[in-house]
Structure formats: C-alpha cells, structure tokens
A = this chain, B = another copy of it.
Amino acid sequence: MSGKLFVVGTGPGNPDQTTPEALAAIEASHVFFGYGPYLDRLTLRPDQRRVASDNREELARAKDALHTAASGERVCVVSGGDPGVFAMAAAVLESIEAGPPAWRAVDLQIVPGVTAMLAVAARAGAPLGHDFCAISLSDNLKPWTVIEARLRAVATAGLVIALYNPISKARPWQLGTAFAILREALPWSTPVIFGRAAGRPDEAITIMTLAEADPGRADMATCVIIGSPETRIIERDGMSPLVLSPRSTGGGT
C-alpha cells in the first residue's frame, strides 16, 4: 500500500499569503514533518500528528516522511515560502533517488508557494523587475569558491541577486565577503534590500547602498536583494522609498 506525500510551501509566514491549495493539502494530511517554527504556524486537528526536526536535518526528515508515506499514511512535508526554492522538495527528491523502489511509487504532490524574495520585492517596489537570480549563501552543500564565482558572474552579467540563507551562527562571515566581492563588480551606489520577515508582524525592510551594506542587518529570516547597475531608488515624501529595476536594460528602449 502506498500513501500520499505532499510537499507544501506555506508562503512567507503571513497566513493571507498561504494558498488555498496548500491549506487543502494540510487538511488532507495526517502526519506532518518540518522545521519546528514552520510547523508551529499550522493549526492542526487532534488526529493530525507533528514530527518536528531541526533545520539542519533535511535529508533525515525527507527519508522519515517517505518511509511514513510508503507505509500508507497521508504525509505532509512543510516548508516556509516555496518548497522548491532552497527548501524541502530537493531533499525529498534526493531521498527518492537514493531510496528503495517503494519510495518512487509514493504519490507525490508538490504545492508551490510565495517564496521569500517575491514577498520582500513586493514590499520594496520592483527590485526584481528585470532578469534576476536566487543564490543560497550557505556553503554547507557547495564549496565557497563556487559561490564566489557565481556572484561575480551574475553581477557582471547585470542580473539582480536575491541571497537566501545569508547568515547564521555557523556561517558568520560569508555575507560580508559576498558584499566585498560585489563591490568589485557593481557601483557602490547599487541599492541593497534587507528583507526580514516580509508580510509578518515583525517585518523589517531596510534599504541601503552597497557601500553601506552591513551584514549585521541580516539574520536567518532575512532575504537580501542586491540590485543591478540599472536598479535605482524612487524617493517619496513621508513614505518609504521604492526600489526599481527597470524593464529596459543596457540600451534598450
């Protein structure tokens, strides 16, 4: 017997940004796997069971979820934001690839969500208004040299950069080094957005220049967006400024 495995993105944390599709998947599930703070956002029934784990245990969590689903349960793996962006979908697929044949037979449904950079961008204006990229600054799963090379390549190519996982207690220096690399490739006046907890009551959106950008402004709940050479600020009297990456680029009309 093979159960069902939902891999759900609940969005940035504001309940109004969770899709009905995600809520329906949660309603239909009986066992929930996820990072504790994400599970805490759910309102579960007494017959629904939660299995919280640390945010460094993604592969073990994925395997537990697949094992449980393959035994016939209706299982939900919960991510914040979108499950496909630096979240649980890849860990689940890596586990399926390396796991027993029964795991490939599990009915898998991935439910997309609003990922952090979209929520931050919406609060800041249109910083992702032209070509952009999303890069995880965590060197737990890739060498730092790869991250440095990618930052140089995308900044030089004129893409806006959204940084996920910018900083943590175990990775304190990477964001500062990333800013130093980007100062070599971009005008120091380039706008940088620190978007913390976008859409939630404790939201904090801070706009600085690349020259001023202070890694201390970021924590694990922050998505950092660095503009391209085209990105600019629109000032407004008595309101927060807007950040615009215009649609026209590099001589376009």
Contact = CB atoms under 8 A, between A and B. Distances in A.
Interface in A206-253: 232, 234, 236-237, 239, 242, 244-253
Given A110-B125, A122-B83, A143-B250, A16 B21 contact: yes
The listed residue with most B CB atoms (<10 A of its CB), out of A93, A139, A232, A236, is A93
A112 B250 contact: no
Given A136-B130, A234-B104, A122 B153 contact: no
Contacts of A122: 82-84, 89, 110-112
Copies of this chain per assembly: 2
A245 B96 CA distance: 13
Nearest to A253: B141
A232 B250 CA distance: 34
Interface stretch (A38-46, A49-57, A113-121, A167-175): A113-121
B110 A123 contact: yes
Interface residues of A, number: 80
Chain A interface helix/strand/loop/mixed: mixed
A91 interface: yes
Contacts of A104: 234, 236-237, 239
Interface stretch (A29-37, A156-164, A186-194): A156-164
A24 interface: yes
Interface string A82-98: 11111001111110110
A14 interface: yes
A18 B23 CA distance: 12
Nearest to A8: B122
Interface of A: 11, 14-21, 24, 58, 82-86, 89-94, 96-97, 104-105, 108, 110-115, 118-119, 121-123, 125-136, 139-143, 146, 149-150, 153-154, 156-159, 232, 234, 236-237, 239, 242, 244-253
13 contacts: A11-B19, A82-B122, A86-B247, A91-B247, A94-B247, A97-B234, A97-B244, A113-B114, A115-B118, A128-B134, A133-B133, A133-B159, A146-B158
